[in-house]
Amino acid sequence: MKIINSQSLLNYNSFKIDAIANLFAIVKNKKDILDLLSNQKINKKPKLILGGGSNILITKNISGLVIHNKIKGIKIIQEDKESAMIQVGAGENWDDFVKWSTQHKFYGIENLSLIPGSVGAAPIQNIGAYGVELKDVFIKLEAINLTNSETQIFNKSDCLFSYRESAFKKQLKNKFIITKVFIKLKKTKKINLNYHILKEKIKQLGLKKLDSQKIREIIIEIRNSKLPNPKKIGNAGSFFKNPIINQEQLIELQKKYPEIPFFKKEKIKIPAAWLIEKLNWKGYQEESCGVYEKHALILINHNKATGQEIANLSKNIKHSVYEKFNITLEEEVCIL
């Protein structure tokens, strides 16, 4: 394992921000991590764990050590007639794992197809799409404490999962590096068609026989139709979370906007994209960055934008939404 000085992070974040890491190292196994943490010259420096770099916006150079997690491996460690527990290296590409699961005729994460990033980042963000969240299939994870180098197991309850949140984004932020994630998938057919866009697409296609592979294909088609490819256009997917409001707020909003969409389960969510689009931000362009023309939640880097320029755009959008709707948008993307 090599420690690199002054490493450009241009190819390590999906926004394509050309920031510099003072120190940079790629870890491929637990030994690499422990060797890094035992290095007296760097063990006291601040550390940033970087997976796929698909959910961050870097607004400045990183003064400490960036650890790029490339721990690989997918294996079934326990199974019966109904389900299988799979151990996945935190450095595996998430969508590659989803593809693997459908090829093995497992069910549970096919709705999470084409979400960019690494497996290790999935529980941090509690990734979700089309009616499914990571917590629905999560069993536990293994992580190494960056302070004392001890290995620790976190069960589902330890992770404090909520909407696009976990303990690793709050009280445990930057304190651990995840090495393995354990997922439980179904072997018997169980498909989640609760999300209306997915249901409509299947009806439109006239499909009767469905399996996890077919659902994956449909999800990929839907996502490709409205989301930019980060390899071609710098972006980090949905930049804002859907805001959660109370019943009184919803009633007030409906008085002014009877057509306002909302989702009501345990809590009431308003689509952030609707709020942003209502204020004509969709398709907005500045010289270096803007809002994607097909989806109001996607901020894009189209001309070598700095992270600060994109952050400023997000602040302007947040301000206008608050002024108009009295709703504070919260970033889904981690701003560094």
Catalytic residue numbers, as ranges: 164, 238, 332
Number of Cβ within a 10 Å radius of residue 116: 22
Q: Which of 333, 75, 305 is nearest to 180 (CA)?
A: 75
SS3 state at 220: helix
H or E element, residue 103: helix 94-103
- Tokens representing residue 177 in the block: 């590096």
Do you know the residue count of the chain? 336
The token duo for 39 is: 């290095």
Residue type, 228: P
Q: Classify residue 35 by burial, with Cβ atoms within 10 Å: 0-12, 13-18, 19+.
A: middle
Beta bridge partners of 144: 151, 177
Which H, E and C letters describe 289-312, residue by residue? Answer: EEECCCCCCEEEECCCCCHHHHHH
Name the one residue in this structure whose structure tokens are 């998938």: 185
Q: How far apart are CA 138 and CA 118, in angstroms?
A: 15
